[in-house]
Amino acid sequence: GDSVTQTEGPVTVSESESLIINCTYSATSIAYPNLFWYVRYPGEGLQLLLKVITAGQKGSSRGFEATYNKETTSFHLQKASVQESDSAVYYCALASNTNTGKLTFGDGTVLTVKP
């Protein structure tokens, strides 16, 4: 079946430092699945951060970027300069079934940004 592997947390960085959370995927039913990053901020529900549905393209939101790399089957999340408000749990996910929006999630990465 489909699977997603991401950086095992927790990850702690200082404010204004750069960040990368690794994500690699395996999709058995489709060559190019749709890829997503979801985020859960403290006290809030899971919400979409960004998505990319075309291999080779980059998605961006709130200063975060992720590039869909079909050669390395990766979708790493990056930010050049993190803020304390970025502290959250980040989930990489894929959707491979064209008939449903069923998401397969990674285990999540807890990010803490120190002031």
Q: Which residues bind other proteins (CB under 8 A)?
A: 33-34, 38, 45-48, 51, 53, 91, 95-108
Report d(CA 33, CA 14) in Å as an integer: 33
Which of 15, 40 has the CB closer to other proteins?
40
Which of 21, 95 has the CB closer to other proteins?
95
Least spacing, CB of residue 77 vs other proteins, in Å: 17
Tell me, letter by letter, the H, E, C secondary structure of 28-79: CCCCCCEEEEEEECCCCCCEEEEEECCCCCEEEECCEEEECECCCCECCEEE
Which of 13, 103 has the CB closer to other proteins?
103
